[in-house]
Amino acid sequence: MSKAVSGAMRSMPEHSTGPEMLVRRLLFAKGLRYRVQYPVPGAPRRSIDIAFPGKKVAVFIDGCFWHGCSEHRNIPAHNRDWWQNKIDQNRLRDKDTNEKLRNAGWLVLRYWEHDPAEQIVAAVISAIIRKSELPKRDK
């Protein structure tokens, strides 16, 4: 990978992207409180974009390029195999993260950066309400 590409990748925000910030602002305006970049149990160096730890609801706002959105995927022509492998590995890591969270009792919600923020917020609120209505398990 060239120094220019490497530098460009390093300059990309890992979290708090525009779409994520919009969803967070709307959730906060609705009175919901959440944690940002909450650690994924059993997965060092992985975090949940927007977490509701008390309810065990994890929300991810995935970037179309980095997570391989089929609608907006645009693999660069230069070094195509490397990029395809990088995105495939990201998708495998997402799948593994989902599994780890579900095994720990979390509800995992994933959205694309192009999904309307208002729809994401409505779905998150609905999921939190549904999760609140579930009977508690004895420990």
Q: Hey, how many other C-beta atoms are within 10 angstroms of the C-beta on 19? A: 20
Residue 77 confidence class, pLDDT cut points 50, 70, 90 = confident
14-56 pLDDT tens trace: 567 889 999 999 999 999 999 999 999 989 899 999 999 999 9
**In the CATH hierarchy, which fold is given to the domain comprising 17-58+97-133?**
Endonuclease; Chain A (3.40.960)
Q: What local confidence, expressed as pLDDT, does residue 55 receive?
A: 95
Rounded Cα distance between 72 and 103, Å, is 31
Q: What local confidence, expressed as pLDDT, does residue 52 receive?
A: 97
Break the chain into its structural domains and give their ranges.
17-58+97-133
Which tokens go with 120? 């994401």
Mean pLDDT of 114-118: 96
pLDDT surpasses 60 at 10: no
Q: Is the dihedral of CA 18, 20, 23, 26 positive or negative?
A: negative
Rounded Cα distance between 34 and 107, Å, is 14
